[in-house]
Structure 1
Amino acid sequence: MPLLNLGERSLYWRTDGDPSKTPLLLLNSLGTDHSMWNVLMPELLKDFHVLRMDKRGHGGSSNVTEQCSIAELGRDVLAVLDAAKWPRTHLCGVSIGGMTGMWLGLNAPERLDHLVLSNTSAKVVTEVFADRIKLIKDKGLQAIVDQALGRFFTQGFVTEASPAYHSIREVFLQCDPGGYIACCTAIRDMDQRQDIAGIKLPTMVIIGDQDQSTVPAMGEQIVSQIAGASVERMPLAHIPMIEDPKSYVQILRKFLLGT
């Protein structure tokens, strides 16, 4: 298991596929680990060499503090890229992964080719995450898991309760609460609304029309701020690639490879 040792903590990362293919870094959402992308991997590996990682307190990555910033998460990504010896890559980030992607697009554009910002926002309602942090400290992740998954997916997918749904639920509950809280503080304190106008990379924003966590207006605001940004809409919720991996991969192929 590739673990990047950063002193008191470590980051889990892995690569899959043919190193001669196009590099693609995937950054997952809050409360999920790198396995979130598993359902897409058979198709993605036909065209891409894929790098995945777990952020602080998620999956195989450890955590030592209940505070961090989007900038710190971005620097974690750069450390993993260095460990993997990847000088440049396409990036697709969903939710907090997209927030981190925006920071990287501004602060390390030389490491990126194309930027996909999926189901994300440059600013959230601060009180929502302040309340969530308090609830987790009082009652643990169990207190929010069903509400969170109700936002991740459409109602039909939640009702169906497929194996994929239960896998996501189990990973959520296995997160380190302190690491989850740390990532919540990064989201709570972030405001990239004005800064993202400085992103010059080819950028695509994916919007879920039923996304309750980062509502369509948040994605539309990103599109309006980044010159030349394109947009793709899906009739799904906050983590659309789980419900419709085929369409999601097609969207990525079209933007990243022009196919």
Structure 2
Amino acid sequence: MSTTTLQTPGGAFCVRLDGPADAPVLVLSNSLGTTLEMWDAQAARFAQTHRVLRYDTRGHGGSVVSPGPYTFDQLGGDVLALLDALGIERASFCGISMGGFTGLWLGVHAPGRLNHLVVANSAAKIGTAEGWTSRAALVRDTGAAGMAELAASSPGRWFTAAFAAAQPAVVQRAQGWIAGIAPEGYAACCEALAQADLRSAIGGITVPTLLIAGSADPVTTVADAQAMQAAIAGAQLAEVPASHLSNLEAPEAFDAALARFVAPV
């Protein structure tokens, strides 16, 4: 496992590569308010079959915190820039929540770079522009204190109450990720989500697509996944027993669905 800083035309990105250099590439893209560490368990498993590329999304973790607002043209373009910098022509892509929306953008705008598209706990439009814009303003106004407040409230959005009670260490680790995010980076990603709506575009996606939904996810619901499945020809849907961060709450079910879908031929 090696973490490195990769320079791209859009800035420097914290990336981690695991697995054989000659294996098919699987890109893992984090959710809003987390880092590439959210994928530790998946990276360990999939490094047996894939070259696993993880990265901190712009504004998060060790990656560039450029001034906002961001757009998904920018966030999706960052993935393409990382692939270019590493000389990777095609990859399978799995993103969760915000990372899942980045995947949808890639499916619409750069299908030739994808072997498989896995969109977990996401939607073609997430939340409301007003909600995201007000959250961005709050974080910009309150800085680190605002991030700490978001960290305190995040378990209710991210995990079921039963999981949070049973696995406090996992919850605390996730709260640590969001508390450490740069306020400007978080706010700028909120602004990208405020403007993001691919509902009229995803019908054009031709990449083999798997949608993963958490049965107890209050943020991006099973119904959101079903709507995407109806729009994307041939899309598969896997429902797992989890809330919003399903790869952390239900790793066995999540990994099994992902493994079946991206298995090398």
What TM-score do you get using the length of structure 2 for normalisation? Answer: 0.93
Q: How many percent identity over aligned positions? A: 36
Please name the residue that 1:207 is paired with.
213
* 1:136 and 2:142 aligned: no
Please name the residue that 1:164 is paired with.
170
Say whether the 8 Å CA contact 1:136–1:143 is kept in structure 2.
no
Structure 1 residue 9: deviation in Å?
A: 3.6
Say whether the 8 Å CA contact 1:114–1:202 is kept in structure 2.
yes
Please name the residue that 1:220 is paired with.
226
CA RMSD, Structure 1 to Structure 2 (Å):
1.7
Say whether the 8 Å CA contact 2:151–2:175 is kept in structure 1.
yes
* 1:11 and 2:13 aligned: yes
Please name the residue that 2:32 is paired with.
30
What runs of 5+ residues in structure 2 fail to find an aligned partner? none
Structure 1 residue 55: deviation in Å?
A: 0.9
SS at match of 1:25: strand
Please name the residue that 2:250 is paired with.
244
Runs of 4+, deviation exceeding 4 Å: none
CA gap of 1:7–1:252, structure 2 versus 1, over 3 A, is closer
CA gap of 1:148–1:162, structure 2 versus 1, over 3 A, is closer
What runs of 5+ residues in structure 1 fail to find an aligned partner? none
SS at match of 1:144: helix
- The one-letter code matched in structure 2 to 1:76 is D
Alpha-carbon distance between aligned partners in 1 of 2:86 and 2:168, rounded to the nearest angstrom: 34
CA gap of 1:7–1:225, structure 2 versus 1, over 3 A, is closer
SS at match of 1:233: strand
Please name the residue that 1:62 is paired with.
64
Alpha-carbon distance between aligned partners in 1 of 2:90 and 2:98, rounded to the nearest angstrom: 21
Deviations 1:172-198 (A, max 9, x none): 111011000111111110110010111
Alpha-carbon distance between aligned partners in 1 of 2:8 and 2:219, rounded to the nearest angstrom: 31
Instruction: Give the number of equivalent residue pairs.
Output: 259
SS at match of 1:79: helix
SS at match of 2:44: helix
Please name the residue that 2:263 is paired with.
257
What TM-score do you get using the length of structure 1 for normalisation? Answer: 0.95
- The one-letter code matched in structure 1 to 2:136 is I
Structure 1 residue 257: deviation in Å?
A: 1.5
SS at match of 1:72: helix
Alpha-carbon distance between aligned partners in 2 of 1:138 and 1:75, rounded to the nearest angstrom: 29
Alpha-carbon distance between aligned partners in 2 of 1:258 and 1:49, rounded to the nearest angstrom: 11
Please name the residue that 1:51 is paired with.
53
- The one-letter code matched in structure 1 to 2:224 is M
- The one-letter code matched in structure 1 to 2:133 is A
Candidates 92, 102, 110, aligned match of 2:104? 102
Alpha-carbon distance between aligned partners in 2 of 1:148 and 1:187, rounded to the nearest angstrom: 17
Please name the residue that 2:196 is paired with.
190
Structure 1 residue 39: deviation in Å?
A: 2.0
- The one-letter code matched in structure 2 to 1:224 is A
